[in-house]
Structure 1
Amino acid sequence: MTLSRRRFLGGSLAATAVAGGLSGCATVTRSTDIAALNKPVQLPTYRRFDGPKPDLPRSHPLMPDCFYRFPEQPGRVTDGVPGDGSDMSGSAPTSNPIPPTADRNAYWQELNNRLGSPLALTITAAADYDDKFATSVAGDTLGDLFNVEGGFSYLPQFLEARAQDLTEYLSGDAILEYPFLANLSTESWRGCVYSGGIRAVPIQRGVMSTDLLLARQDILDQLGVELESPNLDELIKVGKAVTDEKKKRWAFAVPPKWALCAMLGLPRDWEVRDGRLVHSWELPEHKEMLTITRQMVVDGLIHPDGVAKPNQKVWFSQGSAVLTQDTYSSLQSFYRRSVVKSFAIGIPVVRDQSGKVGRVLLGKPNNSIAAIKPSSPERTKMLLRVLNWMAAPFGTEEYLFRKFGLPDRHYTLKGTDPVLTEAGQSEVCLGEFPIQYLADGGYPVYFPGRPEAVDVAYGHLKAVLPTAVLPPVYGLYSPTESTKGKVFTTRFDALTKDIQLGRAKLSAWDEAVTEWRKSGGDAIRAEYEQAMSIQGRK
């Protein structure tokens, strides 16, 4: 799920509700106590699930499992049902059309049968979820299981007050009672630890959420243009070769920020350099990136609305943009929406000016997190069994049902690959029923019916993972970032667009960075550095 700007900023509404609701609670950690907020805990033991052997070798510890096709006879790996017959409730977002309610949805009805406890799930459009979340916090109607976006203010305090402390159930070997949760990566669990406790379960995406440069390989082939492993000069040369304004075709749907970051050696946000945290905004290479993208706009290489009103998924699918930014996991959605038979996606391995593979900035390990309402030990264990069932990994019968529903009604087989029917697209929510935002298994490289896309993604991962960089402050909490970070991001995003469109001079960037450092940037740096020291990361 990609968070919209509205949803991201809307977190402040939830934060206001949370702060107001927790202001009198003496058991909640003070918002300025960096040591207490970032106190470490023994993370869950990782135990890889012994499932089907991937079709391609795992050449790197972060390499996802890669499968060309679904196993022919997936086995059921759970006994009985995880629920105890009692009613459950929950809250989750969706980026797809909201599915029919349980009384009109055969998938949901079968889901309840398999859970063994009926789930009343409040599903909200992703763009509206934070507003709904704030209302639910105020009214205490989030339910037993609820999705939480990890970036809003006062998150540790909220989780301490309103979420079950799961440490005794999940820390160390205790998690082995829930083997599918134990199959989730150690890095993903770091994003669930606040105030010295495990407060949630991860909605893991791993490297599949990494932002990349994608290319319409079929268009490049038709034009006789090669784009294999370009440096900056070669990328711009290709951009000029494929742009044809008369045919309403531009090189880039949006400014290719992440490809340029890889070429210039820029971090996603924070990075440790010479023993100290620095932010991308304050590095000279960031201004160089602004200069490059401004020139791309001047040269007409970026879609005319690509800065001010981007609609890159549509433009890339239609072919009015040959290159765009998106993630590994987006490949399947692009193939699903394409109406061009020859449609093909390439992922170029960009290089820096010295010719080395550009350092890719990996996405955050988690999409979000999900918490459990405080309850008795017996009910908490039951709800964890439910979440464990929802995290059943690829290749199992449980996974096949979760993602594709019932055979014949919701999917048919093409070979061994499930293909959603019209009923499946509606009732199973395009294969992304919102329980995937309460718990989910690791995200494999698997694109049903598109083995060539698996090869493309695998080839790129194999090339970039040896030098790829994980977010260094992921799982750390800065009070100043929590309360001011979204405002800073909004300001810099707006200034970036103004510079790219020629409405502001490049010198305005230096002024903005100076103001950012004074008004909170240096405080965020100091808080993160203290948190890193507390957790032994530095």
Structure 2
Amino acid sequence: MRQPTTSSPTSRRTLLAGALGLGAGLTLAACGSGSSGGGGHTTGAAFRTPQAGPVPSPMPGEHRDPIHGVPAAYDRYPSAAEQFTSVAKAPGHGGTMTALMQLATTPAPGRGSNRWWQELEKRLNLNWRPTLVGGSDIGDRAQTIIASGDMPDLFNVNHYFSPAIDRSVKQGAFTELSDHVGGSAILDYPNLARLPDWAWRNSSIDGGIFGVPRPTPLVNNVAFYRQDWRKKLGLDVPRDADEVYALLTAFTKSSPAGNGKKTWGLSDLNSGFFAAMHRVPSTWRLNRDGTLTKDHETDEWEAMLVYMRKLWVGGAFHPDAPTMPWDQQRQLFLNGSIGMHAEGFNGMVSVGGDLGVIQRNSPGADLQPMLPPGFDGGKPLVAQDTGYWGYYSIPAKLRGNKDKIREVLRVCDYFAAPFGSSEYTFVNYGINDHHFTYGKGGAPVPTTNAARLSELSMAYMCQPSELNFFFAGQPAQVAKDAQTFLHDAMPVSEPNPVVNLYSETAISKTPVLKQLVDDLMVAVVTGRKPISALAEARRAWKSQGGDQMRAEYEKALAKKK
């Protein structure tokens, strides 16, 4: 069946910009000259916002939030009978389509023994030939493929793994898609028209659209903490910096896990929570005169550093926090040794996420997201994320082949099927009675057969699964809590002002400059250097490329006016 819609299209698309997390502004400010590669967009021209499609009628058990950027929460998963069809006709023409894709988890079995792959080809009406690359390796592989000139029809671009790939985008390696998905043109692809405006805008470069983004929440670096420990210790939810200090140091000193188990407040020096407390700007501060101030150049960042030093002296951090690999940090949290840990909602509470593991390891564990309080009891300033995790581009060799471009976009439209559709269930959960079954309450229950589940590792594309707060296997309240957190966080959040701008200096210098600041932070927090060392680190950052990066961003911002 087709999903019914309301009579009028949405008008709530405010143009928000997200922030790159710790490496914010890595690859995107100063503009070069030349073609964008698509023929329909001039470098530096105004961004053509994809028009939002009609607002669908609410699904059973759906709770919408009036604040833009806050996902809907769901009490339950729609039954097979309630699921609608979002793609009326197979997108392919019966030929072959190649793709470079990120491997989500373990390697997928080959086509001959992969039922999901076989079913996908039937649904798409084409021979699907992906190159699957795991984790951070996709950055190196992408650069190798670009250098070879033998580009697949669909290409995963992720500058988190390969900042220099933005240089390839600027040099014309990919087709600019504004003529195909900008403005009302996107309505030819109804599911793509449902992707949020921020994902399109923040993944653009100099106003050009170079791919279909995989959308994520704008606030997605969330501090989850052991509420059961807090209650056991008789403490209230923290309302200022002093109460946060009391909570985190008590997690270390009071052994809230019981049975003599050693615990700590934190296992890493992730500064995001404390930056929000001290109202540090989102990577850069855009001043009224159009100039930029880097976050670590502000008094707020210095105050954050002093506070983290206080936490270190008070014992809130695990002693190995400065050097501990992320996997070990996470493992300490999973085994019940850590009281607060930053993670995205999908990684924490999705099927196979951290919450389920912690609940098995520590029965009665109660994890809750905590919105940072302002250090003085006022409001925090939360840095927005980019709101997307990579995007899927079409190589420049296809720019003159409109039929092929449309076919590739129709395939993306299939993967972008919305929550409640039969296509969404297939893309995200697989085939009923093979990859999952419908359990109690109608929620998909994944099979325990690891080989079958591995077939789905090749399904990681532009689906909006992280923008739907339904978490199979968890009570409906978990989804409502996630929505409430975003409801509170979005109004006190701020975008990175340079998120979709290009800087050649950022590409070449950010790794060194970031290491300089990170090293200074660790040295001050752990007491190896005094806070006065910050002044020299700021001078070094400026002279080694920071000022040049700033100038490029400021020039790009001036062109946007």
Query: Normalising to structure 1: TM-score of the pair?
Result: 0.88
Spell out the pairing of 1:259-338 with structure 2 (5 A cutoff).
Answer: 259-275=273-289, 276-310=291-325, 311-332=328-349, 333-338=353-358
Query: 2:53 — aligned with what?
Result: 47
Query: 2:394 — aligned with what?
Result: 372
- Among 523, 538, 545, the alignment partner of 1:520 is 545
Greater shift, 245-254 or 64-73, is seen at 245-254
Q: Name the aligned partner's letter for residue 443 of structure 2.
A: D
RMSD: 2.9
Tell me how far apart the structure 2 counterparts of residues 192 and 350 of structure 1 sit (CA, whole Å): 27
- Among 410, 419, 423, the alignment partner of 1:394 is 419
Greater shift, 327-336 or 125-134, is seen at 327-336
Decide whether aligned partners of structure 1 residues 527 and 173 sit closer, same or farther in structure 2, where only a CA change above 3 A counts: same
- Among 46, 62, 75, the alignment partner of 1:68 is 75
Query: 1:416 — aligned with what?
Result: 442
User: Are the equivalent residues in 1 in contact too, given 2:86–2:418 (CA < 8 A)?
Assistant: no
Q: Name the aligned partner's letter for residue 383 of structure 1.
A: V
Cα shift at 1:532:
2.0
Q: Name the aligned partner's letter for residue 284 of structure 2.
A: W
| Corresponding position: 1:228 with 2:237 | yes
Q: Name the aligned partner's letter for residue 349 of structure 1.
A: L
| Corresponding position: 1:251 with 2:259 | no
Cα shift at 1:121:
1.3
Q: Name the aligned partner's letter for residue 496 of structure 1.
A: M
Decide whether aligned partners of structure 1 residues 57 and 203 sit closer, same or farther in structure 2, where only a CA change above 3 A counts: closer
Q: Name the aligned partner's letter for residue 477 of structure 2.
A: E
Tell me how far apart the structure 2 counterparts of residues 196 and 291 of structure 1 sit (CA, whole Å): 39
Q: Name the aligned partner's letter for residue 525 of structure 1.
A: R
Tell me how far apart the structure 1 counterparts of residues 535 and 104 of structure 2 sit (CA, whole Å): 37
Greater shift, 408-417 or 326-335, is seen at 326-335
Query: 2:225 — aligned with what?
Result: 215
- Among 363, 369, 375, the alignment partner of 2:385 is 363
Per-residue CA deviation, residues 25-76 of structure 1 (Å, 9 max, x unaligned), is x95579xxxx975433322112254153463231311111111221122112
Per-residue CA deviation, residues 60-94 of structure 1 (Å, 9 max, x unaligned), is 11111111221122112211311111111111223
User: Are the equivalent residues in 2 in contact too, given 1:108–1:427 (CA < 8 A)?
Assistant: no
Cα shift at 1:301:
1.4
Tell me how far apart the structure 2 counterparts of residues 261 and 175 of structure 1 sit (CA, whole Å): 38
Cα shift at 1:179:
1.0
| Corresponding position: 1:100 with 2:121 | no
Cα shift at 1:180:
0.9
Decide whether aligned partners of structure 1 residues 457 and 227 sit closer, same or farther in structure 2, where only a CA change above 3 A counts: farther
Per-residue CA deviation, residues 220-265 of structure 1 (Å, 9 max, x unaligned), is 34x2343424311001111222214763201112235222111100
Greater shift, 54-63 or 379-388, is seen at 54-63
Q: Name the aligned partner's letter for residue 287 of structure 1.
A: E
Tell me how far apart the structure 1 counterparts of residues 329 and 451 of structure 2 sit (CA, whole Å): 25
Higher helix share: 1
| Corresponding position: 1:348 with 2:370 | yes
Tell me how far apart the structure 2 counterparts of residues 501 and 94 of structure 1 sit (CA, whole Å): 37
Q: Name the aligned partner's letter for residue 205 of structure 1.
A: T
How many equivalent pairs are there?
512
Instruction: For residue 321 of structure 1, give the secondary structure of its aligned residue in structure 2.
Output: coil
User: Are the equivalent residues in 2 in contact too, given 1:201–1:439 (CA < 8 A)?
Assistant: no
Structure 2: give runs of 5+ residues left out of the alignment: 1-19
Tell me how far apart the structure 2 counterparts of residues 184 and 198 of structure 1 sit (CA, whole Å): 14
Instruction: For residue 546 of structure 2, give the secondary structure of its aligned residue in structure 1.
Output: helix
Tell me how far apart the structure 2 counterparts of residues 490 and 125 of structure 1 sit (CA, whole Å): 25
Greater shift, 71-80 or 148-157, is seen at 148-157
Query: Normalising to structure 2: TM-score of the pair?
Result: 0.84
- Among 354, 360, 381, the alignment partner of 2:406 is 381
Query: 2:5 — aligned with what?
Result: none
Decide whether aligned partners of structure 1 residues 500 and 48 sit closer, same or farther in structure 2, where only a CA change above 3 A counts: farther
| Corresponding position: 1:88 with 2:97 | yes
User: Are the equivalent residues in 1 in contact too, given 2:36–2:208 (CA < 8 A)?
Assistant: no
Query: 1:462 — aligned with what?
Result: 487
User: Are the equivalent residues in 2 in contact too, given 1:180–1:441 (CA < 8 A)?
Assistant: no
Cα shift at 1:182:
1.0
Q: Name the aligned partner's letter for residue 309 of structure 2.
A: R
User: Are the equivalent residues in 2 in contact too, given 1:360–1:467 (CA < 8 A)?
Assistant: yes
Tell me how far apart the structure 1 counterparts of residues 45 and 511 of structure 2 sit (CA, whole Å): 24
Tell me how far apart the structure 1 counterparts of residues 63 and 455 of structure 2 sit (CA, whole Å): 27
Cα shift at 1:195:
5.2
**Which structure ranks higher in relative contact order (CA pairs < 8 Å, sequence separation ≥ 6)?**
2
